[in-house]
Protein backbone atom coordinates (compact mmCIF):
# COMPACT_ATOMS: atom_id res chain seq x y z
CA UNK A 1 0.00 0.00 0.00
CA UNK A 2 2.84 2.38 0.89
CA UNK A 3 4.58 1.66 -2.42
CA UNK A 4 1.38 2.31 -4.42
CA UNK A 5 0.68 5.51 -2.48
CA UNK A 6 4.21 6.88 -2.85
CA UNK A 7 4.18 6.13 -6.60
CA UNK A 8 1.29 8.62 -6.92
CA UNK A 9 3.56 11.41 -5.64
CA UNK A 10 6.12 13.38 -7.66
CA UNK A 11 9.61 11.78 -7.34
CA UNK A 12 10.93 14.56 -5.10
CA UNK A 13 8.11 14.05 -2.55
CA UNK A 14 8.28 10.25 -2.33
CA UNK A 15 10.71 10.06 0.59
CA UNK A 16 8.21 12.04 2.71
CA UNK A 17 5.15 10.07 1.56
CA UNK A 18 3.90 9.63 5.15
CA UNK A 19 3.39 13.38 5.52
CA UNK A 20 2.38 14.17 1.92
CA UNK A 21 -1.09 14.49 0.42
CA UNK A 22 -1.86 13.04 -3.00
CA UNK A 23 -4.19 15.18 -5.13
CA UNK A 24 -7.53 13.66 -6.10
CA UNK A 25 -6.50 13.77 -9.77
CA UNK A 26 -3.65 11.36 -8.97
CA UNK A 27 -5.81 9.06 -6.80
CA UNK A 28 -8.22 8.77 -9.72
CA UNK A 29 -5.42 7.40 -11.93
CA UNK A 30 -5.40 4.17 -9.90
CA UNK A 31 -6.71 1.41 -12.20
CA UNK A 32 -8.86 0.16 -9.31
CA UNK A 33 -10.76 3.48 -9.26
CA UNK A 34 -10.48 4.61 -12.86
CA UNK A 35 -13.58 2.72 -14.02
CA UNK A 36 -15.55 3.05 -10.78
CA UNK A 37 -18.66 5.21 -11.33
CA UNK A 38 -18.36 6.42 -7.71
CA UNK A 39 -14.69 7.43 -7.91
CA UNK A 40 -15.37 11.09 -7.08
CA UNK A 41 -17.51 10.17 -4.07
CA UNK A 42 -14.98 7.62 -2.83
CA UNK A 43 -12.27 10.30 -2.78
CA UNK A 44 -14.62 12.73 -1.06
CA UNK A 45 -15.69 10.28 1.66
CA UNK A 46 -12.19 9.09 2.53
CA UNK A 47 -10.36 12.42 2.27
CA UNK A 48 -9.66 14.29 5.51
CA UNK A 49 -8.44 17.37 3.65
CA UNK A 50 -9.27 20.58 5.49
CA UNK A 51 -9.43 22.45 2.19
CA UNK A 52 -12.01 19.93 0.89
CA UNK A 53 -9.98 19.29 -2.26
CA UNK A 54 -10.45 15.52 -1.74
CA UNK A 55 -6.70 14.93 -1.61
CA UNK A 56 -5.57 11.96 0.48
CA UNK A 57 -2.95 11.42 3.12
CA UNK A 58 -1.36 7.99 3.47
CA UNK A 59 -3.68 7.39 6.42
CA UNK A 60 -6.75 8.28 4.29
CA UNK A 61 -5.46 5.89 1.61
CA UNK A 62 -5.06 3.10 4.19
CA UNK A 63 -8.57 3.75 5.53
CA UNK A 64 -9.97 3.43 2.01
CA UNK A 65 -8.05 0.20 1.34
CA UNK A 66 -9.13 -1.19 4.71
CA UNK A 67 -12.83 -0.58 4.05
CA UNK A 68 -12.56 -2.09 0.56
CA UNK A 69 -10.55 -5.11 1.77
CA UNK A 70 -11.91 -8.64 2.18
CA UNK A 71 -11.35 -8.43 5.94
CA UNK A 72 -13.68 -5.44 6.50
CA UNK A 73 -17.00 -6.39 8.06
CA UNK A 74 -20.26 -6.02 6.20
CA UNK A 75 -21.31 -3.31 8.70
CA UNK A 76 -18.23 -1.23 7.93
CA UNK A 77 -18.61 -1.72 4.18
CA UNK A 78 -22.31 -0.81 4.27
CA UNK A 79 -21.62 2.28 6.43
CA UNK A 80 -19.14 3.60 3.86
CA UNK A 81 -21.32 2.58 0.91
CA UNK A 82 -24.12 4.60 2.50
CA UNK A 83 -21.83 7.62 2.87
CA UNK A 84 -20.66 7.27 -0.75
CA UNK A 85 -24.28 7.10 -1.99
CA UNK A 86 -25.36 10.07 0.20
CA UNK A 87 -24.39 12.63 -2.44
CA UNK A 88 -25.57 15.67 -0.46
CA UNK A 89 -24.02 14.44 2.82
CA UNK A 90 -27.25 14.92 4.82
CA UNK A 91 -27.29 11.49 6.47
CA UNK A 92 -30.20 10.08 4.47
CA UNK A 93 -30.74 8.75 0.96
CA UNK A 94 -33.58 10.77 -0.52
CA UNK A 95 -35.01 10.78 -4.05
CA UNK A 96 -32.22 13.08 -5.33
CA UNK A 97 -29.51 10.78 -3.93
CA UNK A 98 -31.23 7.72 -5.40
CA UNK A 99 -31.52 9.41 -8.80
CA UNK A 100 -27.80 10.27 -8.77
CA UNK A 101 -27.01 6.73 -7.66
CA UNK A 102 -29.00 5.24 -10.55
CA UNK A 103 -27.41 7.66 -13.02
CA UNK A 104 -23.94 6.62 -11.83
CA UNK A 105 -24.81 2.97 -12.28
CA UNK A 106 -26.49 3.29 -15.67
CA UNK A 107 -24.05 5.79 -17.15
CA UNK A 108 -24.47 9.43 -18.04
CA UNK A 109 -24.82 8.99 -21.82
CA UNK A 110 -28.08 9.82 -23.58
CA UNK A 111 -28.52 6.24 -24.75
CA UNK A 112 -28.17 4.78 -21.26
CA UNK A 113 -30.16 7.34 -19.27
CA UNK A 114 -33.54 6.22 -17.95
CA UNK A 115 -36.66 8.11 -18.92
CA UNK A 116 -38.37 10.16 -16.20
CA UNK A 117 -41.08 7.50 -15.86
CA UNK A 118 -38.52 4.67 -15.62
CA UNK A 119 -36.49 6.61 -13.05
CA UNK A 120 -39.60 7.36 -10.97
CA UNK A 121 -40.69 3.70 -11.07
CA UNK A 122 -37.21 2.50 -10.07
CA UNK A 123 -36.96 4.97 -7.17
CA UNK A 124 -40.45 3.96 -6.05
CA UNK A 125 -39.40 0.29 -6.11
CA UNK A 126 -36.21 1.04 -4.15
CA UNK A 127 -38.19 2.95 -1.51
CA UNK A 128 -40.86 0.24 -1.26
CA UNK A 129 -38.12 -2.33 -0.67
CA UNK A 130 -35.96 -0.24 1.68
CA UNK A 131 -37.94 2.51 3.40
CA UNK A 132 -39.12 0.60 6.47
CA UNK A 133 -40.50 3.63 8.35
CA UNK A 134 -42.20 4.97 5.18
CA UNK A 135 -40.79 8.50 5.52
CA UNK A 136 -39.75 8.69 1.85
CA UNK A 137 -36.03 8.33 2.61
CA UNK A 138 -33.56 5.59 3.48
CA UNK A 139 -31.57 6.01 6.67
CA UNK A 140 -28.40 4.11 7.56
CA UNK A 141 -30.22 1.39 9.53
CA UNK A 142 -32.65 0.78 6.65
CA UNK A 143 -29.77 0.68 4.18
CA UNK A 144 -27.83 -1.79 6.33
CA UNK A 145 -30.94 -3.96 6.66
CA UNK A 146 -31.30 -4.15 2.87
CA UNK A 147 -27.58 -4.80 2.38
CA UNK A 148 -27.64 -7.59 4.98
CA UNK A 149 -30.06 -9.47 2.71
CA UNK A 150 -27.68 -9.19 -0.25
CA UNK A 151 -25.19 -12.06 0.00
CA UNK A 152 -22.80 -10.71 -2.63
CA UNK A 153 -22.60 -7.12 -1.34
CA UNK A 154 -19.45 -7.56 0.75
CA UNK A 155 -17.58 -9.41 -2.01
CA UNK A 156 -18.49 -6.81 -4.64
CA UNK A 157 -17.58 -3.82 -2.44
CA UNK A 158 -13.80 -4.23 -2.61
CA UNK A 159 -10.60 -2.98 -4.14
CA UNK A 160 -7.61 -5.29 -4.47
CA UNK A 161 -4.18 -3.75 -5.09
pLDDT tens profile 64-105: 999 999 999 999 999 999 999 999 999 999 999 999 999 998
The pLDDT of residue 156 is 85
The pTM score is 0.92
Q: How far apart are CA 125 and CA 98, in angstroms?
A: 11
Average pLDDT over the chain reads 94
**Domains in the chain, please, with CATH?**
1-68 (1.10.238.10), 74-157 (1.10.238.10)
Tell me which DSSP letter residue 10 carries. Answer: -
Closest of 92, 91, 70, 46 to residue 153, by C-alpha: 70
Residue 21 φ then ψ, to 5°: -120, 135
Greatest alpha-carbon span in the chain? 55
Q: How far apart are CA 32 and CA 150, in angstroms?
A: 23
Q: Per-residue confidence at 160, pLDDT binned at 50, 70, 90?
A: confident
Q: What confidence tens digit (pLDDT) does each residue in 38-64 have?
A: 999 999 999 999 999 999 999 999 999
The pLDDT of residue 127 is 97
Q: How far apart are CA 9 and CA 99, in angstroms?
A: 35
Amino acid sequence: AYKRFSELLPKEERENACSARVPKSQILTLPELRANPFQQRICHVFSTSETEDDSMSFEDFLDMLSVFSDSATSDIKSYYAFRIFDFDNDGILDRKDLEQLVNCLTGQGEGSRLSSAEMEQLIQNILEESDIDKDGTINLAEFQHVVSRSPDFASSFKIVL
